[in-house]
Amino acid sequence: MKTIQRVMCRLGKGLFLGFFFVMAMPTGVAQAGAVHVDLATAYGADNFHTRNLQQFADDTRKLTNGQVDFAIHAGGSLLKPTDIYAGVRMGKAGAGEVIMSSLSKEHVLFGIDALPFIVSGYEDARRLWAASRPAMEKLLHEQGLQLLYAVPWPPQNLYSRREIGTMKDFKGLSMRSYGPATERIAELIGARPMTIQAVDLEKAIAEEKLDLILTSSSTGVDTRAWTTLKHYYKVSAWIPKNMVFIDRKLYDGLDTRTREKLDEAARSAEERGWRLSQESNQSAENQLAANKVSVSTIDFIIRSYLDRLGETLAREWLKKAGNDELSVLLKYTTERSAR
Ligand code: PCA
């Protein structure tokens, strides 16, 4: 009898404690039936994309009452930057963030995002995204993924260790590449491409491994480019976007209401991200100047040479493009000229 009493008493305490535990649980903690999603990104935690991504995760958790719980793995900590796209497709992570143009060898459509000099500012970038989004969504869908949102980096500008006065000054320089477009540009200007991921860039710059890089003002600040790169030329080559996507099986498995809430969080993340990108561009260029980097446009003759180089890249892309890609470009160019 005593034993039974003791057991009942323990059980009672357990139930009592259990009750308090449930009551004290913060909202948003994964509940029964909740989906935990590991999201892999290549970029560091301080980056504005990653901060936006974290906010997206928090919003999603709140809006879905904890039914969708994203964990953000920054800086390539879950999957190597070059493995993220394939990794999510293979189920190694539930979701991911990737810069579209790094996948142009995977599919030619992604290359449209880094065609040089077809986008002259954020307004153009929005038009290009509006024109390409349906095709991108379809492509991702076919690959077992659901697009959530896309946010641009600021314009891609040129950082150099030494002043660039003529085209000859590019010859033999070691130029950092982060994808097929930057690699091809390095080849065409006679530089030596070196593939370095964003997470390793600060170290490579500080160790004087690079003479030239093509990236945004904000990445220049994140990597303290001024330690060795003293010149910044505003060539505005393109405005590339990161896209955030989720395994389609996970997405399709959510009930309609939860899916709508996730879509809502994604729409806000996209709007907020475009704003953050523009703001970060302004403040980052000020920071570069404050750190004694000379901020200027590039020599007129070099500029026209770079324009021709852009045409070469566009021709190479057009040769590979199919009907879907061509109609995206046509839609963008007609809407752009109809301004
Ligand atoms: N920063 C990233 C991609 C584009 C950008 O502005 C990088 O340099 O890797």
Give the model's pLDDT for residue 338.
73
Q: What CATH number is associated with residue 189?
A: 3.40.190.170
**Helices and strands (H, E) in the chain, number of each type:** 11, 11
Ligand 1 touching residue 178 (CB < 6 A): yes
Substitution site in 48, 50, 98, 99 for ligand 1 pocket (most atoms within 8 Å of beta carbon): 99
Helical pair 122-142 and 256-290, crossing angle rounded to 10 deg: 140
Helix (H, G, I), strand (E, B) or coil at 239: coil
Give the model's pLDDT for residue 336.
85
Per residue in 97-147, pLDDT tens?
999 999 999 999 999 999 999 999 999 999 999 999 999 999 999 999 999
Distance from residue 35's CA to the centre of ligand 1 (Å): 31
Give the model's pLDDT for residue 246.
98
- Determine which residue's CA is closest to atom 6 belonging to ligand 1: 216
Clarify whether residues 46 and 94 are in a common domain.
Answer: yes
Give the model's pLDDT for residue 31.
58
- C-alpha span between 269 and 228 (Å, rounded): 34
Which parts of the chain sit beneath pLDDT 70? 1-32, 339
What the block records as the tokens of 76 is 């390539």
221 and 160 in contact (C-beta within 8 Å)? no
Query: For the chain, what is the domain count?
Result: 2
Clarify whether residues 60 and 94 are in a common domain.
Answer: yes
Clarify whether residues 43 and 117 are in a common domain.
Answer: yes
Distance from residue 116's CA to the centre of ligand 1 (Å): 15
* Domain with 76 in it: 33-154+240-284
Substitution site in 216, 238, 280 for ligand 1 pocket (most atoms within 8 Å of beta carbon): 216
Give the model's pLDDT for residue 25.
37
Give the model's pLDDT for residue 32.
61
What is the distance, to the nearest Å, from the Cα of residue 97 to the centroid of all Cα atoms in its chain? 6
Give the model's pLDDT for residue 4.
37
